[in-house]
């Protein structure tokens, strides 16, 4: 199948945006950092989605990671000292990440996460924003926010809860444990776990099934499902935002970043 790359001159080279037949593909392209998401990558996601939205021949969008080791391993930790330190910097980073997440979550066309390797933290949230999640059996999953002391935004928690339910969400978040692909599927994170050799064909099978269906019907049904998953009016979103900011302003967050850089276990104090 032929591939046409687009947006090369308008977004970061760490996102590869392609049209492959009836599918648009977004590839997180920083394999040296296990495709950790940078500020520029977050910023590029809505532009890629918008370009696909304008093309009526694209029926499905697939997100994946470059290389063999990772889908997305989380946020780019190397940027934390400059982009996620201090209230203004954190708010700016959270705004661009939230914008990308919501653009994917609320996207009108069907989306598939093709997962091979690490799917961690922000990477798992990206996958949870997709409609379908298909993973190779060598993949692994975690939300390690608790090990870093950072704040995890309300909408990301919503995504986790709506996919796996409150009980599994609490286990995944509170333990910050790493799960194999089979363990992740048991907890509801995945639709399919397949061998490495079968991954691409399985994704293509889903593309074919979805592409054969009526776009307006799929759009309407997906929109209704997303409406049912919205946060209720009774949720105090500003109070939730302040809880997240308090994490980023804490000594535990500074300790978490330092411990990660020094490759040691952090010592948290709750302050």
- Annotation: CATH topology of 4-218: 2-enoyl-CoA Hydratase; Chain A, domain 1 (3.90.226)
The CA–CA distances, whole Å, from 153 to 114, 238, 239, 240 equal: 24, 11, 11, 8
Question: What pLDDT does 179 receive?
Answer: 98
Query: Among the residues of 7-153, which ranges form H helices?
Result: 39-53, 80-83, 87-105, 122-129, 145-148
Give the global pTM. 0.92
What span, in angstroms and rounded, lies between the C-alpha atoms of 83 and 38? 10
How long, in residues, is the chain?
Answer: 271
All structural domains of the chain with their residue ranges: 4-218
Cα–Cα distance, 132 to 127 (Å, whole number): 8
DSSP 75: B
pLDDT by residue for the chain (271 residues), tens only, comes to 789 999 999 999 999 999 999 999 999 999 999 999 999 999 999 999 999 999 999 999 999 999 999 999 987 766 655 555 566 777 788 889 899 999 999 999 999 999 999 999 999 999 999 999 999 999 999 999 999 998 898 999 999 999 999 999 999 999 999 999 999 999 999 999 999 999 999 999 999 999 999 999 999 999 999 999 988 878 888 898 889 888 888 999 888 888 888 889 999 999 9
pLDDT score recorded for residue 82? 58
User: What single-letter DSSP state applies at residue 14?
Assistant: T
CB atoms within 10 A of CB 50: 12
- Cα→Cα distances 143→107, 126, 216, Å: 23, 12, 35
């Amino acid at each position: 199948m032929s591939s046409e790359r687009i947006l090369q001159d308008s977004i970061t080279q760490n996102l590869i945006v392609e049209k492959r037949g009836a599918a648009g593909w977004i590839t997180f392209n920083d394999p040296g950092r296990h495709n950790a998401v940078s500020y520029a990558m977050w910023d590029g996601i809505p532009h890629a989605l918008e370009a696909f939205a304008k093309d009526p021949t694209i029926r499905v969008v697939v997100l994946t990671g470059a290389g063999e080791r990772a889908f997305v391993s989380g946020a780019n930790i190397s940027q934390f000292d400059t982009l996620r330190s201090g209230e203004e910097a954190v708010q700016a980073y959270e705004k661009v990440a939230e914008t990308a997440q919501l653009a994917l979550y609320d996207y009108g066309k069907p989306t598939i996460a093709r997962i091979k390797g690490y799917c961690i933290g922000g990477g798992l949230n990206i996958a949870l924003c997709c409609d379908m999640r298909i993973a190779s059996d060598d993949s692994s999953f975690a939300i390690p926010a608790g090990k870093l002391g950072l704040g995890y935004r309300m909408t990301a928690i919503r995504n986790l809860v709506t996919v796996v339910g409150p009980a599994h969400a609490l286990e995944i978040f509170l333990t910050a444990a790493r799960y194999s692909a089979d363990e992740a599927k048991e907890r509801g994170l995945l639709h399919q776990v397949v061998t490495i050799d079968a991954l691409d064909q399985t994704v293509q099978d889903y593309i074919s099934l979805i592409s054969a269906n009526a776009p307006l019907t799929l759009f309407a049904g997906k929109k209704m499902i997303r409406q049912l998953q919205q946060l209720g009016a009774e949720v105090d979103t500003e109070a939730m935002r302040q809880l997240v900011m308090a994490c980023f302003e804490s000594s535990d967050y500074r300790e978490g970043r330092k411990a990660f850089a020094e490759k040691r276990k952090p010592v948290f104090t709750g302050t």
